[in-house]
Amino acid sequence: MPRLSEVIAALDALWPPERAEQWDAVGTVCGDPDAEIDRVLFAVDPVQEIADEAITLGAQLIVAHHPLYLRGTTTVAASHFKGRVVHSLIKHDIALHVAHTNADTADPGVSDALAGALDLRVTGPLVAENNLGRICELDHPETLSEFAARAAKRLPTTSQGIRVAGDPTMIVRRVAVAGGSGDGLFDAVRAAGVDAFLTADLRHHPASEAVQHTPLGLVDAAHWATEWPWCEQAASQLDEISDRNGWGLRVHVSKTVTDPWSSHHNSGAPN
């Protein structure tokens, strides 16, 4: 049975912390380096529901994509919801490790997992300088509407579902994908000459400018849904490391939906 420090070293080899953006907060949040690990839970968000799931599962380590303390803190008091997470984890000897933007730019990384979930063929990075996002090809052309339906079918269900901008009948052959917030990548998307862009968190003005600027199809999914496939990919990577080292780890992926949006209502016609 490996110690936490050995498992963390393996995770850091997959997603080197030095590849994280300067503003990011990655690495181990809590945990005893000498503690023995035999069960690991992967999740997108280190929220209380995931901590409770790890407790029930008997996991000694949570690997989360999103940081618990992205902007720092001066307290871990249990009177605050983040502090309650820390207290729950420490009380039950559960470590928390975060791989965020260092997992976004890994190879394979978050966008590779997103492309894989939709059965897209990756041809290269969207932004070569930092290996962010992916340019992909479809096995056969689809309309934008059909491609959006593919995303809706293949990605986890959320209340947002899939939003689409652009001509639904336009033909899509090449797409750019970026897990998580992607509207800062429009310059790279336009330079790539793709037909459509699948990402999350698209804001009004960047999206409006993108479809006015070029005949680009936009497919906007929930942030959590575009990053959850990484959990399955990452769990598989750790499984392989465990088998190679004879660790015997039991690796799980949380299916708890931690997307913050809980319901959706279509707007009616104006009165």
- Residue 12 marked ligand-binding: no
Query: In three state form, how does the secondary structure of the chain look?
Result: CCEHHHHHHHHHHHCCHHHCCCCCCCEEEECCCCCECCEEEEECCCCHHHHHHHHHHCCCEEEECCCCCCCCCCCCCCCCHHHHHHHHHHHCCCEEEECCHHHHCCCCCHHHHHHHHCCCEEEEEEECCCCEEEEEEEEEEEEHHHHHHHHHHHCCCCCCCEEEECCCCCEEEEEEEEEEECCCCHHHHHHHCCCEEEEECCCHHHHHHHHHHCCCEEEEECHHHHHHHHHHHHHHHHHHHHHHHCCCCEEEECCCCCCCCCCCCCCCCCC
Q: Is the dihedral of CA 85, 178, 210, 216 positive or negative?
A: negative
- Residue 227 marked ligand-binding: yes
- Residue 264 marked ligand-binding: no
- Residue 104 marked ligand-binding: yes
Which of 110, 105, 103, 104 shows the shortest CA–CA distance to 130? 105
- Residue 87 marked ligand-binding: no
Q: Give binding residues for a divalent metal cation as ranges.
A: 65-66, 104, 223, 227
Q: Give binding residues as ranges.
A: 65-66, 104, 223, 227
